Amino acid sequence: MIKQAETNLRYALIGACFAFLLYANTIPHDYVLDDKGVITQNQFVMQGFAGIKNIFTSDVWHFQNLNLGYYRPLSLVSFAIEQQLFPNNPHISHLVNVLLYSLTAFLLYFLLLKIFNRKHPLFSLVVTLLFIAHPLHTEVVANIKSRDEILSFLNLIAALYVFLPVLDKTKIESRDAFRIFASWFLFYLALLSKETAIVGILLLPLIIYFKRETLVKRIALLSIPFVAMFLLFQFHKYEVFGSLSSPVLKDLLNYPYTDSDLKLPSMLMIFGWCVKLILVPYPLSYSYAYNQLPAVSWASFNALVGVALLIAILYFSVNEFRKKTSLGFGGIIFIITLLPLLAFIYLKGGIFAERFLYASVLGFSVAVTSFLFSFSKISLEKKEENIASLLKQNKFSVPFLLLLVLYSVQTISRNADWKNDETLFTHDVNVSAKSSQTHFHYGAILINKAIAEQNTEIKSSYLHSGLAELYTALTIHPHYAAAYNELGLAHERLTQNLDSAIYYYNRAIMDGSNDASCYIGLGEIYEQRGKKEFASYYYNKAVEANPFIPEVTAIRDAYKARTGLDVKEFPKENIAIDDSSAGQHDFNYYNQQGMKFGQQGDYENALRCLNKAADMNQSSEEVLINLSVCYGMTKQNEKSIETLQRVLLINPANKTALQNLVIMYDHIGKTDRANDYRRKLKDLE
């Protein structure tokens, strides 16, 4: 018995050390991607211990002025502790991620040992090694922000591990109380890490059923407290947010599957994509945003493949699970742990991300291990079996080692891409070439490098390459507000074309940007031009856009102190236009004047001029489009829609008009009408 305990400890340590070695090369990495949003740009996290109380009462993206209903305080608390002890040190945070992943391997082995207690411990070791090595985990471990996934899974398997010994008791005694309450507490911690831990409510009864012949009544009684913990978590969340419903953002970039007719087929298409990545995790990407995986209808071959795969996996897994085979158990785990992702797509139209497959890899690893042992006809009942004897059996060792080596090489290689934003974006822009987000991120990196570069020739090269990437992003997603914002920055700081900068900043605002930097940019330009009231107005708008960023408030307050201005309403410049002589000014004059005023953000004068131009040439699609934009910017939504519909009367195939109608109807909450125009757009494309 003592010898077996020593063997189990050795196997668990092998898994933990293997996990550490695989991800040790991430420890020197910087903050990357969303790390900044949850750490350096999160004031509560940056306050260290002092901010922990506020972390428990706020949304993850509070400082981006977003309320998505994401209540995941546990990872943020860990970041705050690290900031207190090791300020602004990403290497410590990466080290903690790697250590938590190693602990996951250690504990997972022991959990599997309890679940598969009738099999040789080598079965649990092989499952653990395949799970740890799988390259799909690189996003979770290498991206500090994704610690919520690690903590959620770690606490969930800890809860199951602590609870399972109770199953062996025919009668639960008072001394088991501590173990039971500890498991409930760990499950609650899993939920505080990430809501996807809810799958534990389904996993527990399935594990109970798999391990032993148990009455349904007993399974229900054992599971009810975990359901109660989830309800308690929901109540906790309600107390924090005042609501359990989270908004569905009108954001095509991150929610591309909102069309009710396309949700289900798109979800099934993505299910097929999940199976593909689980089986062949190459190439990998941080972004599957619009339009890397386009929404599909039932006519799509990919949707039909997804249906076929789902039916086949469900049918096979359920049949095998009834026989209580480990192969069926692995298939069931795979399906159950995918449910949060599939629900996110179907209910909210959200995008796919590799981190959503973190737990699902466990089901795959169990199934593959079962197949390898079955294929090689190795008896797992032989107690004398050990690692050395197992590896001597070529039917098992060759496919297993090949898989393990391929996974490990891909994982270590992929880790290098996550070193910093530049390495990640430079690599993945080629992998996800259809994603507007990858082109935007890479373009932004190049623009920022151009701003910092002193050499004129190199600066120019960065600028032109950056602009090309941003234009590509807008070709894919013509209403990508952040891309317009970055173009505004490029023209403000690099080309010195301030009229273009004003136009792009305003276009970003029109397309729904809540980024305070748009307004800061406009304020800087108008301050530079000596239009103090306009500058004051836009600095105030920046604070209104995001009052949670101290730097933004400081800019506004400093300008107010210098000038004494605090302009809250858009300043009006009623510039006289000389048209006293009939025929003195033609269509082109009013069109150009309207464009000029619009680029400067003077929409009142832009409307005056563009309306005159539209009267002179009632078939000009360009003028009507610009006129609708100005109406939209002045919140005259009905007039904007009416003007866009005039464009469609002239040209029913005008894509810009159709796209803008989608935005306008979404903006005023008429989703059905927005979807009508989405379908018309799709038909055109």
Assign residue 602 the CATH number of its domain: 1.25.40.10
End-of-domain residue from the set 563, 579, 609: 563
81: left (phi over 0), alpha (psi -120 to 50) or beta: alpha
Q: Which two tokens stand for residue 279?
A: 């089986």
**Long-range contacts, stretch 163-166, CB < 8 angstroms, 24+ apart:** 163/204, 164/111, 164/114, 164/115, 164/207, 164/211, 165/114, 166/222
pLDDT attached to residue 303: 96
Q: Is the pLDDT of residue 580 over 90?
A: no
pLDDT attached to residue 270: 97
Instruction: For residue 613, tell me if it sits in a domain.
Output: yes
The 10s digit of each residue's pLDDT in 3-30 is: 778 889 999 999 999 999 999 999 999 9
- Whether 523 and 597 map to the same domain: the answer is no
Instruction: For residue 190, tell me if it sits in a domain.
Output: no
Dihedral, 413, 416, 421, 426 alpha carbons, nearest 10: -50
Instruction: Kindly report whether the peptide bond that precedes residue 54 is cis, defined as omega within 30 degrees of 0.
Output: no
Half-sphere exposure of 376 (CA within 13 A, CB side): 19
- Whether 544 and 436 map to the same domain: the answer is yes
pLDDT attached to residue 390: 84
Percent of the chain with pLDDT over 70: 94
Domain ranges, residue 461: 422-563
- Whether 633 and 677 map to the same domain: the answer is yes
Instruction: For residue 219, tell me if it sits in a domain.
Output: no
Measure the CA–CA gap between 643 and 629, rounded to whole angstroms. 9
**112, 127, 368 from 363: Cα distances, Å:** 12, 9, 9
- Whether 614 and 513 map to the same domain: the answer is no
Q: Which two tokens stand for residue 381?
A: 């009942």
Q: Comparing C-alpha atoms, which of 546, 550, 491 is closest to residue 514? A: 546
Question: 3-class DSSP state for residue 293?
Answer: coil
pLDDT attached to residue 111: 96
Instruction: For residue 442, tell me if it sits in a domain.
Output: yes
Q: Which two tokens stand for residue 562?
A: 């210098």
The 10s digit of each residue's pLDDT in 38-73 is: 999 999 999 999 999 999 999 888 888 777 788 999
- Phi, psi (deg, nearest 5) at residue 259: -65, 120
The 10s digit of each residue's pLDDT in 309-329 is: 999 999 999 999 999 999 999
Measure the CA–CA gap between 526 and 16, rounded to whole angstroms. 58
- Whether 555 and 593 map to the same domain: the answer is no
pLDDT attached to residue 582: 46
Q: Which two tokens stand for residue 43?
A: 């004031």
Domain count within the chain: 2
pLDDT attached to residue 674: 81
The 10s digit of each residue's pLDDT in 439-452 is: 999 999 999 999 99
Q: Is the pLDDT of residue 115 over 60?
A: yes
pLDDT attached to residue 81: 97
User: What mean pLDDT, rounded, does the chain reach?
Assistant: 90
Measure the CA–CA gap between 446 and 104, rounded to whole angstroms. 38
DSSP alpha helices (H): ranges in 529-670? 532-545, 550-563, 587-599, 603-616, 621-633, 637-650, 655-667
Place 215 in a pLDDT band, splitting at 50, 70 and 90. low
- Whether 593 and 669 map to the same domain: the answer is yes
pLDDT attached to residue 382: 57
- Whether 551 and 429 map to the same domain: the answer is yes
pLDDT attached to residue 574: 55
pLDDT attached to residue 583: 52
The 10s digit of each residue's pLDDT in 175-194 is: 778 888 999 999 999 999 99
Instruction: For residue 405, tell me if it sits in a domain.
Output: no
Instruction: For residue 341, tell me if it sits in a domain.
Output: no
- Mean pLDDT (whole number) for 272-281: 96
Instruction: For residue 656, tell me if it sits in a domain.
Output: yes
Place 584 in a pLDDT band, splitting at 50, 70 and 90. low
Q: Exposed, middle or buried: residue 496 (CB in 10 Å: 0-12, 13-18, 19+)?
A: exposed
The 10s digit of each residue's pLDDT in 482-541 is: 999 999 999 999 988 888 888 889 888 878 777 899 999 999 999 998 889 989 999 999
Q: How many CB atoms lie within 10 A of CB 434?
A: 14
Owner of token pair 């949850």: 38
- Whether 678 and 554 map to the same domain: the answer is no
Q: How many CB atoms lie within 10 A of CB 553?
A: 16
- Whether 458 and 548 map to the same domain: the answer is yes
- Whether 552 and 619 map to the same domain: the answer is no
The 10s digit of each residue's pLDDT in 662-675 is: 878 877 878 788 88
Dihedral, 116, 117, 120, 122 alpha carbons, nearest 10: 60
- Mean pLDDT (whole number) for 230-238: 90
Place 581 in a pLDDT band, splitting at 50, 70 and 90. very low
Q: Is residue 631 a contact partner of residue 607, using CB atoms and an 8 Å limit?
A: yes
Q: What is the 3-state secondary structure (H, E, C) of 155-181?
A: HHHHHHHHHHHHHHCCCCCHHHHHHHH
- Mean pLDDT (whole number) for 397-424: 96
- Whether 510 and 623 map to the same domain: the answer is no
Percent of the chain with pLDDT over 90: 62
Strands (DSSP E) found in 462-585: none
Instruction: For residue 617, tell me if it sits in a domain.
Output: yes
**477, 486, 641 from 656: Cα distances, Å:** 11, 21, 13
The 10s digit of each residue's pLDDT in 555-577 is: 999 999 999 999 998 886 655 55
What DSSP line would sit under 253-276, residue for residue? Answer: TT-TT--TTTHHHHHHHHHHHHHH
pLDDT attached to residue 479: 86
- Whether 433 and 544 map to the same domain: the answer is yes
